[in-house]
Amino acid sequence: PRPHPTFRVRPLTCTETRRGDQQVVHSLGDGAVHVSAARHDATFGFSAVFDAGASQEAVFEGSGMRQLVELAMDGFSCTVFAFGQTGSGKTYTLMGPLAQSEAQPASPALLGLMQRSFTCLLEQSQSRGSDLALSASYLEIYNEQVRDLLSPGPPCALPLRWSKTRGFYVENQLSVEFESLEAIVSLLLQGSQRRRTSAHALNRHSSRSHALLTVHIRSRAHHPPTLVLQASACPSKQGTLCFVDLAGSERVKETGSSGELSVEANSINRSLLALGHCISLLAKPRGKRTHIPYRDSKLTRLLARSLGGSGITLMVACISPSSRCLSETLSTLHYASCARRVTTRP
Ligand code: ADP
Ligand code: MG
């Protein structure tokens, strides 16, 4: 079994219910999503669809996230990315409500894909008895600048480079080793807090940046000292598991963004557009493919390997069921249907 494109419709929020929004998105079971509103009536098919009643655990088990963790442990480059408009439930799906309220720990039932994956990873690594070296890095892309969320001090931009052997990579990014669930969860919190506080200081919302947390999994092959010289005969594997919380798409007109805010919104939209463009080109049959413009944005450069090449990607499309979000919902659905056709060769 492989991870498969997953679609999640969140419940209507209190605000939406109070102002009388209609629920226009329904799951029909068997992977079908139905959108019905005044002038729209469409059904889309997905591998896995989760509606408002679905628990965090159901999403973890039903999306193939567990398999993705195992593939990363086997040495593959694995990526899960959540996309959809602002407020559609991306952060909730990845991290649960924990990242949004201050310090009080969320109920374990509400933990998101990330914490569940960390638990799975650490359990697996213990039960396999293999000697794994685990480390994590956490970056955000804000206004087309890559920033380290784990390094102390004010956020500064890191250069994004390319090399033949490594592909695109971020120079000088911090990678912190961890051995326990507490340690990695605290790195996640620390980084998310930085993402948020840097945002708050300037009165911005957290979802104005794309955030990428990557777990590096390296197997430390055990060699008796005399065998060290033959280490190459028993190659060590290195897999990665990357979680991408994309900033939401936004219509500049509607939010009345101006000045600095519209620069932000434009760079978010530009990078999402570049991502959509790459995905639609990748979705073409291999023979008809033209050059894929990964270089169009920092986001597509960082995701190049997982999107096109040797990676395995799990997409989670998040949407709000509200009638007010209809046009964004339709565009998320089209985007997701397109991305579904992308094939890679891990
Ligand atoms: P995004 O990251 O896409 O901007 P959030 O994850 O912050 O959106 O979700 C927006 C709001 O909806 C939050 O208050 C969140 O707690 C709530 N929410 C999202 N998904 C769910 C869900 N599946 N169940 C309950 N509440 C949800
Ligand atoms: Mg968010």
In a domain, 345, yes or no: no
The conformation of residue 89, written as its DSSP 8-state character, comes to: S
The rounded Å distance from CA 4 to ligand 2 centre is 22
pTM: 0.88
Domain presence at residue 105:
no
Q: Is residue 273 within 8 Å of 252, Cβ to Cβ?
A: no
Exposed/middle/buried for residue 233 (C-beta within 10 Å: 0-12, 13-18, 19+)? exposed
Cβ distance 315 to 338 under 8 Å? no
Residue 75 lies in a domain: yes
CATH of the domain at 82: 3.40.850.10
E-strand ranges in 10-63 read 25-29, 32-37, 40-45, 48-50
> Has residue 336 been placed in a domain?
yes
Q: Does residue 33 sit within a domain?
A: yes
The residue whose C-alpha atom lies closest to atom 10 belonging to ligand 1 is 87
Residue 346 lies in a domain: no
Residue type at position 310: S
Answer whether residue 82 is part of any domain: yes
Compute the distance between CA of residue 341 and CA of residue 18 in angstroms, rounded to an integer.
Answer: 39
Q: For residue 315, which of 146, 109, 94, 140 has the smallest C-alpha distance?
A: 94
DSSP string of 202-248, one letter each residue:
TT--GGGSEEEEEEEEEE-----GGGGGGGGGSPPPEEEEEEEEPPP
Task: Answer yes or no: are the C-beta atoms of 88 and 320 closer than 8 Å.
Answer: yes
How many CB atoms within 10 Å of residue 132?
Answer: 18
Three-class HEC string of 130-164: CCEEEEEEEEEEECCEEEECCCCCCCCEECEEEEC
Q: Which domain holds residue 329?
A: 4-95+110-199+207-220+237-340
pLDDT tens for the chain, 346 residues: list them. 567 778 999 999 998 999 999 999 988 888 888 888 777 788 888 888 999 999 999 999 999 999 999 999 998 989 998 988 888 999 999 999 854 455 667 788 999 999 999 999 999 988 887 688 999 999 999 888 999 999 988 878 899 999 988 888 999 999 999 999 999 999 998 898 888 666 655 545 546 789 999 999 998 765 555 555 554 445 577 899 999 998 876 655 455 555 666 777 777 778 888 888 888 787 777 777 778 888 889 999 998 877 776 788 898 999 999 988 888 888 888 878 777 777 667 7
**Number of the ligand 1 atom closest to the C-alpha atom of 86:** 4
Whether 31 is in the pocket of ligand 1, judged by its Cβ within 6 Å, is no
* 308 annotated to bind ligand: no
- Per the CB < 8 A criterion, the answer to whether 60 and 71 are in contact is no
> Is 207 labelled as part of a ligand binding site?
no
Report the atom number in ligand 1 closest to the C-alpha of 85.
3
If phi > 0 it is left, if psi is from -120 to 50 it is alpha, else beta; for residue 203 that is: left
**CA 86–ligand 1 middle distance (angstroms):** 9
Assess if residue 329 is contained within a domain: yes
State the total domains in the chain.
1
